[in-house]
Amino acid sequence: MPEKSVAHQHHATFEGIRHVDDQGNEFWLARQLATVLDYSQYRHFLRVLERAKEACNNSGQPVQDHIEDVLTMVDIGSGAKRQVDDCRLSRYACYLIVQNGDPSKPVIANGQTYFAMQTRRQELADDANFAQLSDDEKRLAIRNELATHNKHLAAAAKGAGVDTPLDYAVFQDHGYKGLYGGLGNKEIHARKGLKKSQKILDHMGSTELAANLFRATQTEEKLRREQAQGKRQANQTHYDVGRKVRQTIRELGGTMPEHLPKPDTSIQQIESARKKLEKK
């Protein structure tokens, strides 16, 4: 099916069953989505819904934020209705459902194409908007995204056996050592001349933060993809990914992260200045 046809068909069907609650939040209902995705019986769709829940949990997202059990009314003939179990779905949940559906179904295959196209369009729009930001705005955006992905990374590491806070500190240090040529958190902290209470991520420029974001996202993906087991394998994976990111920077002729300058302002100072402007 041509790209425009896929986009038109699935925008019309998917957006056609979209609901908005009293607070302006959009949502979809599982039974309606099952019909659109050509499932003859809702019980067959429930298996896909369970896989979507698992994928949501594995991505570090709270399932209850995206898939909520509800009751809805359905027609049973002659104007009568009865309550049935249903689920209220976020847009992200719908995406996961389509990605975990049966690709032999043409509507699922086309739906996967549609979501891939929508995601790419959003990425391009985000890239254009990001390019217009000041360096401080870029730092703040990447730092916030890194905070989110570090939670996902922590969840993936825990799944591999990194259980205690000390275990996680060691795990994080392996990632830094790979990326920073053997320097761990303490050494990076010292090179930046930071106080004990200050966090190194809050005193990085946008380029250095971006390198660490790539390290975090790729480590999370690799841990899950290879189903890493045990602290030793998790630590080695984090180190190897960090080293690979460093190698890429070198091949591109970039500056090694430990040699990048420390910004004059911290992330906290940027946030404070922005809040003052918003008040004005």
Number of helices (H) and strands (E) in the chain: give both, helices first.
11, 4
* pLDDT tens by residue, 222-248: 898 888 999 999 999 999 999 999 998
Kindly state whether residue 81 falls inside one of the protein's structural domains: yes
Could you tell me the two tokens for 260?
A: 């990048």
Kindly state whether residue 202 falls inside one of the protein's structural domains: yes
Kindly state whether residue 129 falls inside one of the protein's structural domains: no
Considering the domain architecture, whether residues 101 and 230 belong to the same structural domain is answered as: no
| pLDDT at res. 77 | 74
Considering the domain architecture, whether residues 118 and 179 belong to the same structural domain is answered as: no
Considering the domain architecture, whether residues 114 and 139 belong to the same structural domain is answered as: no
Kindly state whether residue 90 falls inside one of the protein's structural domains: yes
Considering the domain architecture, whether residues 185 and 275 belong to the same structural domain is answered as: yes
pLDDT along the chain (280 residues), means of 10: 45 78 90 89 92 86 92 80 92 86 74 63 68 84 87 91 95 97 96 94 93 91 89 96 92 92 93 81
For the CA atoms of 212, 217, 221, 223, the dihedral, rounded to the nearest 10 degrees, stands at 40
Range of the domain at 206: 135-279
- At which of 90, 123, 156 does a domain end? 123
- 159 CA to centre of own chain: 17
- DSSP E strands in 48-178: the ranges are 67-77, 80-89
Considering the domain architecture, whether residues 163 and 250 belong to the same structural domain is answered as: yes
- At which of 102, 123, 144 does a domain end? 123
| pLDDT at res. 80 | 81
β 80-89/67-77 pair status: antiparallel
Considering the domain architecture, whether residues 141 and 53 belong to the same structural domain is answered as: no
Name the domain count of the chain. 2
H or E stretch covering 27: strand 26-29
| pLDDT at res. 6 | 40
* pLDDT tens by residue, 159-180: 999 999 999 999 999 999 999 9
| pLDDT at res. 277 | 80
| pLDDT at res. 15 | 77
| pLDDT at res. 164 | 95
- At which of 65, 89, 123 does a domain end? 123
Backbone φ and ψ for 2, nearest 5 degrees, come out as -60, 155
Considering the domain architecture, whether residues 110 and 178 belong to the same structural domain is answered as: no
Kindly state whether residue 128 falls inside one of the protein's structural domains: no
Considering the domain architecture, whether residues 105 and 181 belong to the same structural domain is answered as: no
d(C-alpha 221, C-alpha 267), whole Å? 27
Considering the domain architecture, whether residues 171 and 112 belong to the same structural domain is answered as: no
